[in-house]
Structure 1
Amino acid sequence: MRNKWLHFFLVTVLIGKNSIAQDITGIWKGGLSINGNALPLVFTITKSGTQLASTFDSPAQNAFGISTGSTELKNDSLVIRIPLINGSYTGKWNGADSIYGTFQQGNFKAPMVLLKSKEGKASKPEIKRPQTPQPPFDYSVEEVTYSNQEGTVQFGATLTLPKNKKDFPAVILISGSGSQDRDGSMFNHKIYWVLADHLTKSGIGVLRVDDRGMGKTSLGPNPTQLTSEDFAKDVEAGLAYLQSRKEINAKKLGLIGHSEGGMIAPLVAARNKNVAFITLLAGPGVAGYEIWNGQMRRNFIKPNLNPEDYNIAADLVNKMNSPFRFSTSADTIKKKMEAVYADWKATNSTIDENKLFLATGINPYKTLVNQFASGLVWLQYFLNYEPFENLSKVKLPVLAINGSYDIQVLANENINGIDKALKKAGNKQYEVKIIPSLNHLFQTAQNPEQSYESIAESFAPIALEKISNWILALYK
């Protein structure tokens, strides 16, 4: 979930100053060789005032307009950081049309030359996002900062509050997997901003916060050791901030968690008495390793296999990913994978891997280890997390909704898991619902496979109305 290269759950930018006279802005094209396959990348660098920003495309992976974490140019040295994939690009600019540098992701490192393009960007036409909020706003908008109790992390956030209303409920939005900005920016969608805009217009205050290392939120110490538990403490820092605001009723504070945020919200609610209600959007209801294995099976196994072949393939994928649960050492995980793969090959010596898998051999699994090298502690925590433990302690009002077209957090099994846990808690104030035709981002999709960026809608109105109406009904 967090730090995935395949899903490109990336975010916007911290910006550096341009201290060189020439203009580095424009479209820069380069490429990598991955396991013998060419992977073209396109960086687009822009400037507002003295601030630089960048996005990149990976056309072969059907990913366009992806924001980076920071873009800095000092003299002739360019550094583009990409926190979500634990990656970066560093290079020397010749002051004109070429940058000689290195692309890095985890332990993977390769030289990459970027050449300035004189042509238009070779990407899909931009799709308009009609729901992206536009000023003027009929509610108050305030840029705020606050720190955690230890003073080790400073958070940047936007607080939107209804005008001419008192005693309204307020919520903190908790982001899904991947380092994201406060707006939930991905593929030119601003999903959390769209949600916050709707909620605030409906009479609900909203605090939306940059994740660690993004926007105006600092990274904090020991970033490779962070887990969802640390992000839960970040949410509690937000709760403490809202409690300090005199215009906000401290007894009407709720949490809205999306994806991994839907795992963090119950974690906080089970122990923090300042939480009055929670809403889970595509939140997990089954163990993390079950969700992970399902995602990996989709990534590795060819579609439309017969049941017998699928089970043989699934057996390998599940076993190859199991070592992530029991170690945070990349070398240890790879050695265990080697043993698992050798055993599977011996048992299935007559099987043609090309028939079963999108990528064969052990190298794709080792590449996965490299991609998560700086996030193995987070991954181990997630894989071993059992949502039932905290959900079964939550007695406050809960709304859990999933989309029927979600292929990342499957609706039926996760909603059923949430329902079972809340019944165990004896919770009398919860509702679980699967909304037809919505994907993981709560967009209306034509089918489960439709890409996020191809959809103009950022957040389905039916889901927006469900969330706001449910919260407001709590306080009628």
Structure 2
Amino acid sequence: MKTILGGAAATIAIAISSAACAAPAAPVQQGLPGYWVGTYEVGADINFLRPHFTAAGKATVDLPSFEKKGLPLDGVQQEQGKVRFALPGPDGVLQFDGSVRGDLLAGKVTLNGKEGKFAFRRTLSDDPQRHQPLLGAYQFPDKHIVVLSEWGDFPQMFYSDMRSGRYASMFADSDSTYYAGAGNLNPAVRETTMRFEKDKSGNVARMVWQQDGKRQTARRLQFRSEEVTFRNGDVTLSGTLVLPEGKGPFPAVVLTQMSSPAPRGAYALQAYYFAAHGMAALMYDKRGVGKSTGEFNKATMEQLADDAVAGIELLGKRADINAQAIGTWGHSQGGWLAPLAASRSQKVAFVIAQAASGVPPAEQEVYRIENVLRASGFSDDEVRAGAAYQEKLMRWVTSGGANRAELLAAARAGDNARWASHVEIVPDTLRDKPRAESTAFYSYDPLPDLKNLKAPVVYILGEKDAFVPVHKSAALFKETLDKAGHKDHQVWMLPRAAHGLWETDIDGGNAYINSTHWAREHYPRMTQWLRERGFIK
């Protein structure tokens, strides 16, 4: 989740009254036993939890954002609707005191003397097999599309309205009914309900959608998914080709990956978006992930780009794909891979690069640390000190170990600094030289290869991106492509957009938990860009 959305520190107002629900609730169950989802906020500490209470008095909690499952809850007490339990953590013990009212468990939470609020709603157990048959794109009578997909770092289903940009995670009342809250991972207030209906063959065919007092029925678009494999040298890539309704040959897009080891399903939102607009989309497991062989953390950028090129070659040989209309798309690190693959293939018809950096990873890391420390409330002196240490670490990596003594001295000086937990403080046993693959990666310059790019390209950047120096990057992309005589390039700066291209004022921390929209002009504008170039109707 955090890999995809970035995140930001923000305050969330948790409504604890079930009377505020925007849509009818499912039949109410009684008592504490069962599965719950929701958030707590105390000071700057905000998180999404999945507690589970059994009739035998045992209790555990999952923290999906941190990939933690089954952590024990302590001191669980219930008496006349009042509930008390605790969650030990590295910063102290979170103490929850609340009450159960129907399908809402809410109250106050304290941590180290600070007091806040929590609210959890009853749901079914977290079972990806339940929601897998529901994923896809749904079209309403006015032709607008809502996509159901999963977050990349844990299998949480969410919806995305491709016209308004509204999105939120979805939680199950039953196998056929779900609800979503007013914030992405904050279901305290039910804003939307969805009921799924099947056809005579038992396949999901419709979604009955209720939001803001209005009920609509959307038709599920009947995509076809085909498992495919392709090779780049001795590496075998495994993926899924999503084909749209109708007859081909279809334009197509290869979805390149971010730096995280998320599997192909992390790119389903984009695959379904493109398929809903008549384009085939290839999403595949990064090398060393899922069913793909190889090791991504030992691969060069060129090797990762050539994985995408192998996907382009696969599509170009298919009769149901228009070989003259195959593009690449990528986000973050994929924003380097998509244009790099196009420059190496010369068979690419368009490139969409999102949240891409115009500077090498070493410089980007220093920028990121500055923003992380600032967003975490550190003083200007602490921000400068932390960034200075990070710069020395990156210089050691990119130089092949030239400043090892200087780095070690800085590490020992910063051992006890407050900012030390936000960087990698190296030990005295640090090897003489960094690994060759680390030097190659952090030294990678994304600009020189753009001189060989011929396909139309759009760079989509977020104004509030805390991970990428977007204004410097925008200028570098434009300057490089202008000098190369590239004939069709654009650089967009989406207002109030984070690294993950969701709306925020500060990109960092856990603001994604209560976020509500993708950058509102993102998908409509991207659709128009593709339409103007003849790739979609």
**Which interval holds the TM-score relative to the shorter structure?**
0.5 to 0.7
Query: Which residue in the other structure is 2:448 paired with?
Result: 389
Query: Which residue in the other structure is 2:330 paired with?
Result: 257
Contact 1:212–1:219 (8 Å) recurs in 2: yes
Q: Distance in 2 between matches of 1:447 and 1:458?
A: 14
The letter of the residue matching 2:275 is: T
The letter of the residue matching 1:153 is: V
Deviation for aligned residue 1:148: 0.7
The correspondence for 1:208, drawn from 283, 286, 291, is 283
Query: Which residue in the other structure is 1:118 paired with?
Result: none
In the alignment, does 2:406 pair up with 1:339? yes
Q: Which has the larger radius of gyration?
A: 2
Q: Distance in 2 between matches of 1:173 and 1:207?
A: 6
Contact 2:352–2:457 (8 Å) recurs in 1: yes
Deviations 1:83-123 (A, max 9, x none): xxxxxxxxxxxxxxxxxxxxxxxxxxxxxxxxxxxxxxxxx
Q: 1:462 to 1:339 in 2, by over 3 A?
A: same
Q: Distance in 1 between matches of 2:193 and 2:272?
A: 10
Query: Which residue in the other structure is 2:231 paired with?
Result: 148
Deviation for aligned residue 1:455: 4.1
Q: Distance in 1 between matches of 2:284 and 2:154?
A: 17
Contact 1:406–1:439 (8 Å) recurs in 2: yes
Deviations 1:416-448 (A, max 9, x none): 111111111111211111001111111122433
Count matched residues: 354
Shifted more, 336-345 versus 255-264: the winner is 336-345
Please list, as runs of the form range in 1=range in 2, the aligned pairs for 1:69-468 lying within 5 A after superposition. 136=205, 137-150=220-233, 152-184=234-266, 192-215=267-290, 217-220=291-294, 224-299=297-372, 303=377, 305-306=379-380, 310-311=383-384, 313-327=386-400, 336-342=403-409, 357-359=418-420, 364-366=425-427, 376-449=435-508, 451=510, 453-455=512-514, 457=516, 459-468=518-527
Deviations 1:313-344 (A, max 9, x none): 533331133212134xxxx69xx545334279
Deviation for aligned residue 1:242: 0.6
Unpaired runs of 5+ residues, structure 2, are 8-60, 63-68, 74-88, 94-124, 131-150, 156-184, 197-203, 206-219
In the alignment, does 2:71 pair up with 1:29? yes
Deviation for aligned residue 1:453: 4.2
Q: Distance in 1 between matches of 2:309 and 2:422?
A: 44
State the secondary structure of the residue aligned to 2:241: strand
State the secondary structure of the residue aligned to 1:392: helix
Deviation for aligned residue 1:449: 3.2
The letter of the residue matching 1:208 is: M
Shifted more, 422-431 versus 455-464: the winner is 455-464
The letter of the residue matching 1:358 is: W
Contact 1:139–1:201 (8 Å) recurs in 2: no
Q: TM-score, normalised by structure 1?
A: 0.63
Structure with the higher helix share, 1 or 2? 1
Contact 1:145–1:154 (8 Å) recurs in 2: no
Q: Distance in 2 between matches of 1:219 and 1:176?
A: 17
Contact 1:281–1:401 (8 Å) recurs in 2: yes
Q: Distance in 2 between matches of 1:312 and 1:154?
A: 44
The letter of the residue matching 2:238 is: G
State the secondary structure of the residue aligned to 2:449: helix
Q: 1:148 to 1:408 in 2, by over 3 A?
A: same
The letter of the residue matching 1:201 is: A
Q: Distance in 2 between matches of 1:360 and 1:209?
A: 34
Q: 1:139 to 1:376 in 2, by over 3 A?
A: farther
State the secondary structure of the residue aligned to 1:400: strand
State the secondary structure of the residue aligned to 2:485: coil
Structure with the higher strand share, 1 or 2? 2
The letter of the residue matching 1:227 is: T
The letter of the residue matching 1:202 is: H
Unpaired runs of 5+ residues, structure 1, are 8-24, 50-63, 69-123, 185-191
Aligned Cα RMSD in Å?
4.3
Deviation for aligned residue 1:403: 0.9
Q: 1:292 to 1:147 in 2, by over 3 A?
A: same
Q: Distance in 2 between matches of 1:294 and 1:386?
A: 16
Contact 1:139–1:200 (8 Å) recurs in 2: no
